[in-house]
Structure 1
């Protein structure tokens, strides 16, 4: 490997162990290559505000790995055919890191910005990922496509919207019994309290609100919800409405 890929991933290695998700050398090499791609493309495409190699290991990669135990548990019911959708994925976060540690899952990365989709396609090819695809679409539109609605075991999204809007954007992709697993930051308690009506309307229940228990990720909380019945057909509403007028 050359360039950034040759730099040690000691921070990620240490944090992954603390999270109970130890990484093989081949996985660390894949994360290094992925990080190199993000920083290289970020010079010309606004993928992320993260521009520091150490910060990338913490804020993008380790933060994504904090979801892995929850995704693994959710996928236990689906077996080898577990399907995850990542809404507003940007640079592929958290979908690609989850694929690197849970290689058996099928991952769909949804992104509305064309240049970011071009990056995702390049990253998928460079990392030689199978069972991963990038889709150029808005969630509000794609969720009404029969090929995507109600078929996923897990929906996730990072830094996309407050929880009430996020639920409307993500849960229509889930099958009944499927899961929404979301990393949230400061203000999560208020978001959870404000999401009660959305949960009721969409047919879901709150399962867990759990702070990540390692110092480097202090402030990250994982919110887990489960869909109990099909989401009413009218949701999500037209583009922009979930954020403008949350349930």
Structure 2
């Protein structure tokens, strides 16, 4: 992997990650530095993310993803009893690869699938995968509403993550079909989540899910929603493209996702 670490990579972000219980090897920081450079390079060609400076990528994208690792590790510790083919992670609406690519770099033994509906973004992800030699990471061009009905993908993941994709009821509907029974969904959301969380709790049982926690991550303004698949998801879910976001489960109308629409937040 080429390049050297920026001053930010070797100091503040390393220390702030450590404060969240995250410690990486030097080659993993090197990989993140290269990934950062590729994001900035490709972002000049088309819109990968609204964040366009190195420090912003490191602090607002990478650090936010790294803060998920303690929760992910807790989930992975329970996958030993699962068949190897389901001990893997799906990142829905991954965009520039967040948080899935960062999690894959930090946990190289984990099989990760990065799903996005935009072909240009998937081509970028394929380039990063090849550049960094991430042989357990796959980029897939498609929509969760469609792939969730594929028998080869349904009920086959231990973990599903999604960042800034949609409201919590929609995320639960999109994630549940992919999860094996006992699998876990990790959704980083904004702190101001009370109304959305209430709607999510109403929607969760409809797709076999239960929300277990929604705690603020250390040193951040993010609440991590953790949900577990407790029952099979009805075959009618996910509904066709657009319906989960525009007609969310749980009633009382649509709930804004991080106050930002169907792909809110910063990618």
Q: Same fold (TM over 0.5)?
A: yes
Conserved 8 A contact 2:172-2:209: no
3-state SS of the aligned residue for 1:195? helix
Q: Distance in 2 between matches of 1:127 and 1:142?
A: 26
3-state SS of the aligned residue for 1:109? strand
Deviation for aligned residue 1:12: 2.0
Q: Distance in 2 between matches of 1:206 and 1:115?
A: 34
Aligned to 2:116: 111
Q: Distance in 2 between matches of 1:209 and 1:197?
A: 15
Aligned to 2:227: 225
Q: Could you tell which deviates more after superposition, 180-189 or 79-88? A: 79-88
State how many pairs are aligned: 242
Aligned to 1:16: 17
Cα deviation per residue 1:163-193 (whole Å; 9 max; x = unaligned)? 0111111111100100011100143222111
Structure 1's consecutive aligned runs of 4 or more residues displaced over 4 angstroms after TM superposition are none
Q: Distance in 1 between matches of 2:173 and 2:12?
A: 35
Conserved 8 A contact 2:100-2:112: yes
Say which of 168, 171, 175 aligns to 2:173. 168
Structure 1: tracts of 5 or more residues without a match: none
Q: Could you tell which deviates more after superposition, 187-196 or 231-240? A: 187-196
RMSD: 1.3
Cα deviation per residue 1:140-162 (whole Å; 9 max; x = unaligned)? 00000011111000001000001
3-state SS of the aligned residue for 1:90? coil
3-state SS of the aligned residue for 1:224? strand
Aligned to 1:197: 202
Aligned to 1:97: 102
Aligned to 2:238: 236
TM-score, with normalisation over the residues of structure 2? 0.88
Structure 2: tracts of 5 or more residues without a match: 250-267
Deviation for aligned residue 1:213: 1.7
Deviation for aligned residue 1:77: 2.0
Conserved 8 A contact 2:169-2:203: yes
Q: Distance in 2 between matches of 1:185 and 1:64?
A: 14
Cα deviation per residue 1:89-131 (whole Å; 9 max; x = unaligned)? 0011000110111111110000000000000000000111011
Cα deviation per residue 1:35-67 (whole Å; 9 max; x = unaligned)? 000000011121111111111111110100111
1:7 equivalenced with 2:6 (yes/no)? yes
Q: How does 1:46-195 map to 2 (within 5 A)?
A: 46-79=47-80, 81=84, 82-195=87-200
Conserved 8 A contact 1:87-1:109: yes
Q: Distance in 2 between matches of 1:188 and 1:148?
A: 30
TM-score, with normalisation over the residues of structure 1? 0.95
Deviation for aligned residue 1:6: 4.6
Q: Could you tell which deviates more after superposition, 118-127 or 52-61? A: 52-61
